[in-house]
Structure 1
Amino acid sequence: MAKKPVKYYVVDAFTDSAFKGNPAAVCLLEEDRDDQWLQAVAAEFNLSETCYLTRSKGFSSHTPRFSLRWFTPVTEVELCGHATLASAYILFTTGLVNSDMIEFDTLSGILTAKKGPDFKAPISDVSQIQGGEEHQNCFSVELDFPIVPYTEFDSTEVSAISKALSGAAVIDIKRTPDGLLLVVLPSAKSVIELQPQIDDIRKCGGEGIIASGAASTESGFDFASRCFFPKCGINEQLESVTT
């Protein structure tokens, strides 16, 4: 018997305009699929993340729960923020859940997404203005993610990290249990201007590098951040919510 077609959406996270933000493919599964198929589909989409939602059964919680898995074009990952945000958006907007709270069963444990109240927001893309209406109905989504512990980084390797970031001045480095390096640079400007050396980043070990720096007070932002995961098939993540 042929398997049922899979319904999917491509969601541009962190934006109100098409072809901007960070896209994620959200696939709605009615039955489990094997890992080889999941990885092949993710490779076909060739986005930074493709995620798969399967409704969980047989648990007592009144909150809707879904199994959620994330795949880059080359591997499965334990956590992805923007694809979780995209998944919550699809569930809240397509009528698949009748609740303002969703639980996701993931490799990082149970994550939650909470829908905030509706509000009006200006439409930034003039091509989307219809009937003279310059505002659109929106809602916020609050994600609850686990705290990831970190350890100090071996100071003897700092020069290698600086080299991978084209000689950027490194203020501090922390390491997560899976080897992700959290690198603090002097400023947001340093982060924006750095030229990553992808081959050198690939040699640094672990999952990848997140470079961050504090933003100036007048900018209106707290910090700038860039994420490099070449071992996962993502030289640079467009935007990330898990940093």
Structure 2
Amino acid sequence: MEIPIFTVDAFTNLPFKGNPAAVCLLENKLQDELYQKIAAEMNLSETAFVTKLKPTDSFSSGARFGLRWFTPTNEIALCGHATLASAAALFYRKENPNPVVEFETLSGELQVRQHGESLVMNFPLNKPEVQDFNKFSNVIKATVGDLPVQEVCYCKTTKKLVVRLADTCDRSALTSLSPVAETLLKSESSGKVKSIIITSKGAPTVQPGYDFFSRNFAPWNGIPEDPVTGSAHTVLAAYWSEKLGKKKMLAYQCSKRGGELELEVRDDGRVDIAGRAVVLLQGTLKL
């Protein structure tokens, strides 16, 4: 069996920036064990598997596909950057002419459309709820140390914990964080938290005008730090849209690789997440 595979840097227009994902184009579904073995072998934060829904479909002309995402250790219900990467493989390498491609996923139907040099994903909006700091104090302190915390929220749907630093903290406070994955796992073992997002208010008056910053740590999914996280921004977009009173926002995830996301909260309870992508590598898995 031969499987076309790509590595794509998502949420960037430069190689070696943004968040890398592997994308496999499958003629037929695989056994679950094999999906996980391939993802572990690729050893990226996510490997995406795009599957034909009908034997007569073509990756070069079809408009609807199946899509699953696996980390090196487990399957996940939603992944933004690997969805962006999957669309980039179809649009840029398979030269799919459709203005929109749709994916059937564990999070329902997801659409990605081309818009200029960007790809725009239509995702569910996941609003977090405010929590008592003390309920999660151990994992918060293991992540941010003594930095002042303004608010703590939790999204039950995505199992993401959002920690907003005080507005006195600038971007450098985020970039200085270096939590230890093993310590995070020990400090939160209930299964409620699958990633912890640290965020702070941006500097919209300073070019390019970021509305907020973030970093995302997910050792519970086998990812010590995810460089740029689309699914996290389904939660962050809901949070910051309410706090800032804005529908359209520009966000920057401050990992070492870094990545930029354009967000628009829609009236239908969903969010458009736009970014660019670079297809870096193309090859064949021979199994």
Q: Specify the TM-score bucket, using the shorter chain as the normaliser.
A: 0.7 to 0.9
2:25 matches 1:21 = no
Equivalent position SS for 1:92: helix
What number of residue pairs does the alignment pair up? 216
Which residue in 1 is equivalent to 2:229?
Answer: 240
Letter in 2 for 1:23: P
2:170 matches 1:173 = no
Q: Distance in 1 between matches of 2:140 and 2:108?
A: 34
- 1:196 counterpart (179, 189, 198): 179
2:201 matches 1:214 = yes
Equivalent position SS for 2:91: helix
Gaps of 5+ in 2: 56-60, 234-287
2:144 matches 1:156 = no
Q: Distance in 2 between matches of 1:198 and 1:44?
A: 21
Which residue in 1 is equivalent to 2:89?
Answer: 90
RMSD: 2.0
* CA deviation map 1:67-122 (0-9, x unaligned): 110000000011111111111111111235321101111111101001113xxxxx
Deviates more, 1:156-165 or 1:176-185: 156-165
Which residue in 1 is equivalent to 2:162?
Answer: 182
Q: Distance in 1 between matches of 2:218 and 2:24?
A: 23
* CA deviation map 1:112-169 (0-9, x unaligned): 001113xxxxxxxxxxxxxxxxxxxxx2111100011323323322432431122221
Q: Distance in 1 between matches of 2:43 and 2:68?
A: 16
2:87 matches 1:140 = no
**Runs of 4+ in structure 1 displaced over 6 angstroms?**
none
Instruction: Kindly state the Cα deviation for residue 189 of structure 1 after the two structures are TM-superposed.
Output: 3.2
Which residue in 2 is equivalent to 1:52?
Answer: 49
Instruction: Kindly state the Cα deviation for residue 16 of structure 1 after the two structures are TM-superposed.
Output: 2.9
**Greater RCO structure (CA 8 Å; 6+ sep):** 2
Letter in 2 for 1:184: R
Equivalent position SS for 2:89: helix
Relative to the length of structure 2, the TM-score reads 0.70
User: Percent of aligned positions with the same letter in both sequences?
Assistant: 38
Equivalent position SS for 2:101: strand
Kept in 1, the 8 Å contact 2:39–2:47? The answer is yes
> CA 1:179 to 1:15, structure 2 compared with 1: closer, same or farther past 3 Å?
closer
* CA deviation map 1:47-75 (0-9, x unaligned): 011000012239xxx97111110000000
Relative to the length of structure 1, the TM-score reads 0.82
Equivalent position SS for 1:70: strand
Instruction: Kindly state the Cα deviation for residue 15 of structure 1 after the two structures are TM-superposed.
Output: 2.5
Letter in 2 for 1:185: L
Instruction: Kindly state the Cα deviation for residue 183 of structure 1 after the two structures are TM-superposed.
Output: 1.0
Instruction: Kindly state the Cα deviation for residue 215 of structure 1 after the two structures are TM-superposed.
Output: 1.6
